[in-house]
């Protein structure tokens, strides 16, 4: 973990009064010596610049940026002595972050950089409609910054109508691996899961590992919405919406039966084979259930669990395997998840803000974020290939081909992506808990999501 450092924080009472919601925005500044190999960086600025950076209070975002400043990773503070970074926190998630940012913007007090966790291009709608962020391409050109440092899919996902509005901070495949407890598996006399397994082989294995109060496998998500389930549905050949983002296609004739089969598999795991926990009996703390209590042998996880779980559970043998395919040897499908930062249109420190943005999205900042188990990966080949990552977390070697061929998130044309997700989620969960037949759920998901897609932009 990172060494401690001094921090100064104060409550932004003015912002709290503007928003009228919980999760007051906190301001912190952090500094401490550190070291690390350096990426090429612009020369130090001559003028004094106070950069205000808006974000939610999260370990993988704000806490890591604070730690990076404290450690002076890649010599950021040493190279930019005239830039002071002020981190402003607005709650812990979008339900508090977004209304507070809109209130700050409406009051004319928006800072210099803004965080966002997009779904289905929602960041484009938010950033452009409310004029929260600006096009980064002119700044990249002026600073001779090579966007080829990122995987093309991530750059494309943050581009709209020829303008790049956001830059990746976390870029990763959605739940690409299964975590499993090697110790408990041996106690059950089971073989370890394999990277070339099919879903049928996983189900057979999970049934053998379900004894008394121990379950063999869980999909590892609190919901079944089409964002977290995106790679799973794509593996069955299913796309939730068409390329225009206006038509729900769950029950498209080309893959309607595959969609029903995908739902049936999840239904059977819980209700027929009883090899997965039923969430009507309560939520599941995945790390505790797998790594500590041993009540769950395996579950789907995000990449951040690879470094996080292994760091926090050194007395337990854990490992990770690629999620199954429907048929043996078929192409492995994926979907991109991101956290991004953009620069506001009204900043008076555009060049300095761009330099800070490229630092938090730079190689060393992200290698150290993984080595120190703070955050998920970023869409930079030089990070995925770095031996400090692949030696510490070998699973990244077999995930790398997934990232190299990463498929973008699907597009929701009216930018109501989160509403699409919550709409499907409510129906999916009823089905999986055994309260709705599979075919009825499939048809209702198609109908209800189309209703959302037919709405005007918010």
- The answer to whether the beta carbons of residues 290 and 299 sit under 8 Å apart is yes
- On the question of pLDDT at 171 being above 50, the answer is yes
Q: Which residue's entry shows tokens 């919406």?
A: 241
Domains contained in the chain, number:
2
Judgement on whether residues 252 and 294 belong to the same structural domain of the protein: yes
- On the question of pLDDT at 20 being above 50, the answer is no
Within a domain: 102: yes
Q: Which residues is 296 bridged to in the sheet?
A: 215
Q: At what angle do helices 363-371 and 64-71 cross, to 10 degrees?
A: 110
pLDDT at 212: 85
- Domain range holding 271? 177-334+409-453
Q: Which residue's entry shows tokens 């906190």?
A: 26
Question: How far is residue 410's CA from residue 398's CA, in Å, rounded to a whole number?
Answer: 24
Q: What is the mean pLDDT of residues 136-145?
A: 97
3-class DSSP state of 46: coil
Q: Which of 138, 130, 133 is nearest to 53 (CA)?
A: 133
- The answer to whether the beta carbons of residues 181 and 298 sit under 8 Å apart is yes
Predicted TM-score of the model (pTM): 0.86
Question: How far is residue 298's CA from residue 305's CA, in Å, rounded to a whole number?
Answer: 13
Instruction: Identify the helix (H) or strand (E) that includes residue 177.
Output: strand 177-181
Question: How far is residue 122's CA from residue 41's CA, in Å, rounded to a whole number?
Answer: 31
pLDDT at 457: 86
Judgement on whether residues 20 and 150 belong to the same structural domain of the protein: yes
- The answer to whether the beta carbons of residues 277 and 284 sit under 8 Å apart is yes
Within a domain: 1: no
Predicted confidence (pLDDT) per residue in 82-135, tens digit: 999 999 999 998 889 999 999 999 999 999 999 999 999 889 888 888 899 999
pLDDT at 10: 33
Q: In angstroms, how far is the first alpha carbon of the chain from the final one?
A: 42
- The CATH number given to whatever domain includes residue 372 is 3.40.190.10
Instruction: Point out the domain boundary residue: 404, 420, 444.
Output: 404
Within a domain: 216: yes
Q: What are phi and psi of 289, to 5 degrees?
A: -65, -40
pLDDT at 52: 98
- The answer to whether the beta carbons of residues 295 and 213 sit under 8 Å apart is yes
Judgement on whether residues 313 and 349 belong to the same structural domain of the protein: no
Task: For the chain, give percent helix, strand, coil, nearest 5.
Answer: 40, 15, 45
Judgement on whether residues 381 and 355 belong to the same structural domain of the protein: yes
pLDDT at 272: 97
Predicted confidence (pLDDT) per residue in 305-320, tens digit: 999 999 999 999 999 9
Judgement on whether residues 91 and 135 belong to the same structural domain of the protein: yes
Q: Which residue's entry shows tokens 């990966």?
A: 377
pLDDT at 43: 53
Question: How far is residue 226's CA from residue 232's CA, in Å, rounded to a whole number?
Answer: 9
Predicted confidence (pLDDT) per residue in 428-447, tens digit: 999 999 999 999 999 999 99
Q: Which residues is 346 bridged to in the sheet?
A: none
Average pLDDT score, the chain: 90
Question: How far is residue 278's CA from residue 281's CA, in Å, rounded to a whole number?
Answer: 6
3-class DSSP state of 237: coil
Residue 154 to residues 107, 171, 172: CA-CA distances in angstroms? 32, 7, 9
Judgement on whether residues 34 and 103 belong to the same structural domain of the protein: yes
Question: How far is residue 178's CA from residue 303's CA, in Å, rounded to a whole number?
Answer: 10
Confidence band, pLDDT 50/70/90 cuts, at residue 56: very high
Q: Which two tokens stand for residue 295?
A: 């009540």
Judgement on whether residues 145 and 287 belong to the same structural domain of the protein: no
Among 11-15, 55-59, 277-281, 419-423, whose mean pLDDT is lowest?
11-15
Judgement on whether residues 319 and 382 belong to the same structural domain of the protein: no
Question: How far is residue 173's CA from residue 80's CA, in Å, rounded to a whole number?
Answer: 33
- On the question of pLDDT at 71 being above 50, the answer is yes
Cα torsion 436, 440, 446, 452: sign = negative
- On the question of pLDDT at 458 being above 90, the answer is no
Predicted confidence (pLDDT) per residue in 329-385, tens digit: 999 999 999 999 999 999 999 999 999 999 999 999 999 999 999 999 999 999 999
Instruction: Identify the helix (H) or strand (E) that includes residue 253.
Output: none
Question: Running DSSP on this structure, what letter comes out for residue 395?
Answer: H
Within a domain: 458: no
Judgement on whether residues 149 and 233 belong to the same structural domain of the protein: no
Within a domain: 2: no
Question: How far is residue 161's CA from residue 115's CA, in Å, rounded to a whole number?
Answer: 21
Judgement on whether residues 46 and 99 belong to the same structural domain of the protein: yes
pLDDT at 18: 30
Question: How far is residue 162's CA from residue 124's CA, in Å, rounded to a whole number?
Answer: 12
Q: Environment class of residue 243 by beta-carbon count within 10 Å: exposed (0-12), middle (13-18) or buried (19+)? A: exposed
Predicted confidence (pLDDT) per residue in 229-272, tens digit: 999 999 999 999 999 999 999 999 999 999 999 999 999 999 99
Judgement on whether residues 184 and 82 belong to the same structural domain of the protein: no
Where is pLDDT greater, at 234 or 418? 234
Judgement on whether residues 323 and 341 belong to the same structural domain of the protein: no
Instruction: Point out the domain boundary residue: 365, 381, 404.
Output: 404
- On the question of pLDDT at 16 being above 70, the answer is no
Confidence band, pLDDT 50/70/90 cuts, at residue 224: confident
Where is pLDDT greater, at 26 or 78? 78
- On the question of pLDDT at 200 being above 80, the answer is yes
Confidence band, pLDDT 50/70/90 cuts, at residue 397: very high
Within a domain: 394: yes
Within a domain: 65: yes
pLDDT at 452: 98
Q: Environment class of residue 336 by beta-carbon count within 10 Å: exposed (0-12), middle (13-18) or buried (19+)? A: buried
């Amino acid at each position: 973990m990172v060494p401690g450092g001094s921090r100064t924080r104060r409550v932004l009472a003015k912002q709290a009064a503007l928003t009228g919601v919980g999760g007051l925005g906190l301001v912190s500044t952090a500094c401490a010596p550190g070291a690390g190999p350096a990426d090429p960086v612009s020369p130090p600025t001559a003028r004094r610049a106070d950069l205000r950076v808006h974000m939610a209070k999260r370990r993988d975002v704000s806490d890591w940026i604070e730690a990076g400043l404290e450690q002076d990773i890649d010599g950021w503070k040493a190279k930019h002595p005239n830039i002071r970074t002020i981190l402003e926190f607005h709650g812990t998630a979008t339900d508090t972050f977004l209304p507070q940012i809109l209130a700050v913007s409406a009051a004319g007090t928006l800072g210099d950089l803004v965080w966002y966790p997009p779904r289905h291009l929602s960041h484009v709608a938010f950033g452009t409609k409310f004029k929260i962020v600006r096009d980064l391409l002119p700044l990249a050109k002026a600073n001779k910054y090579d966007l080829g440092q990122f995987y093309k899919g991530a750059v494309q996902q943050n581009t709209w109508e020829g303008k790049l509005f956001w830059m990746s901070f976390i870029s990763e495949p959605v739940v690409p691996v299964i975590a499993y407890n090697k110790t408990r598996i041996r106690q059950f006399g089971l073989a370890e899961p394999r990277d070339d397994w099919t879903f049928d082989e996983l189900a057979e294995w999970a049934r053998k590992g379900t004894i008394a109060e121990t379950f063999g496998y869980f999909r590892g998500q609190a919901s079944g919405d089409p964002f977290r389930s995106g790679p799973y549905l794509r593996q069955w050949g299913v796309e939730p919406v068409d390329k225009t983002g206006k038509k729900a296609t769950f029950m498209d004739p080309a893959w309607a039966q595959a969609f029903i089969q995908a739902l049936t598999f999840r239904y059977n795991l819980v209700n027929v084979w009883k090899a997965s926990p039923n969430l009507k009996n309560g939520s599941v703390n995945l790390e505790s259930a797998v790594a500590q209590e041993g009540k769950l042998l395996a579950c789907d996880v995000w990449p951040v669990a690879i470094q996080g779980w292994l760091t926090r559970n050194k007395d337990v043998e854990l490992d990770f395997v690629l999620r199954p395919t429907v048929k043996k040897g078929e192409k492995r499908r994926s979907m991109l998840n991101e956290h991004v930062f953009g620069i506001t249109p009204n900043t008076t420190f555009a060049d300095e803000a761009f330099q800070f943005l490229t630092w938090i999205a730079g190689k060393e900042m992200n290698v150290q974020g993984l080595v120190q188990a703070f955050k998920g990966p970023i869409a930079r080949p030089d990070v995925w290939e770095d031996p400090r990552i692949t030696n510490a977390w070998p699973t990244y070697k077999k995930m790398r081909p997934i990232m190299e061929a990463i498929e973008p998130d699907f597009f929701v044309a009216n930018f109501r992506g989160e509403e699409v997700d919550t709409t499907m989620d409510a129906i999916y969960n009823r089905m999986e808990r055994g309260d709705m037949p599979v075919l009825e759920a499939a048809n209702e998901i198609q109908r209800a999501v189309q209703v959302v897609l037919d709405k005007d932009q918010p």
